Amino acid sequence: MKENYDNFMRETGEELFPTKEKLIEFYSKDKNYDDLVRGIKGDNLLRKYKCIILSENYDSYLKLAIEEAGKLIREKLSKEKTDKLIDNLENYLSTRNMGRVLSGQNISEKKHIKLFYDIPQWLKHADSNKLLEEFEGSYSYNVVFSADSKRGFDNFMNMNKDRNLSLQILYRDGGIKNLWPDWIKEN
């Protein structure tokens, strides 16, 4: 995480110029201009690092988010309920690690996940202001990639010549949601 932050800050600093004239002088040099055209310089750094975080470092950031969420939830729920809820959230969100999926892991595999909190239903009713703890019970789901998701993976690979740029655009525009697996409730 620190490395991502340091790299972001370094690259941001490298893009700043004290005057318009210094900027023009810098990019008037052939090598610097070529780097700009090839995307080595002048990249959208917020988009770039969001993509790095969500695709290359998803597990680390998820772990941090889950730890912090656990601290907040423990203020409201018992340790046992908190542990179950946090475990369920982590299981649910781990299936959205597209970096792992896009790196070639098998997407035809079906996963069976048991939840004590019905997170998929809770998210479908997010506008109702219901608390997740109101969805407590025993729920079994099969997590699968639909045919549309599988086609989306193929289309993703052909979106741009640069795979990283394609991934950045998917995250920026929210298209990554179309590649998430489906949660199908078992009867």
CA distance 131 to 44: 37
62 vs 180 pLDDT, higher one? 62
pLDDT at 58 over 80: yes
Question: Cβ neighbours of residue 98 under 8 Å, at least 6 residues apart?
Answer: 54, 55, 58, 167, 170, 176, 179, 180
Of the listed ranges 14-18, 53-57, 127-131, 148-152, the least confidently predicted one is: 148-152
Model pLDDT, residue 105: 62
Model pLDDT, residue 121: 95
- The greatest distance separating any two alpha carbons of the chain, rounded to the nearest whole angstrom, comes to 68
CA distance 175 to 131: 27
Cα–Cα distances in angstroms (integers) from residue 180 to residues 77, 125, 149, in the given order: 30, 18, 7
Count the alpha carbons within 13 Å of 104 in the hemisphere toward its beta carbon: 0
Question: What's the whole-number mean pLDDT along residues 43-52?
Answer: 84
Structure tokens at 139: 């729920």
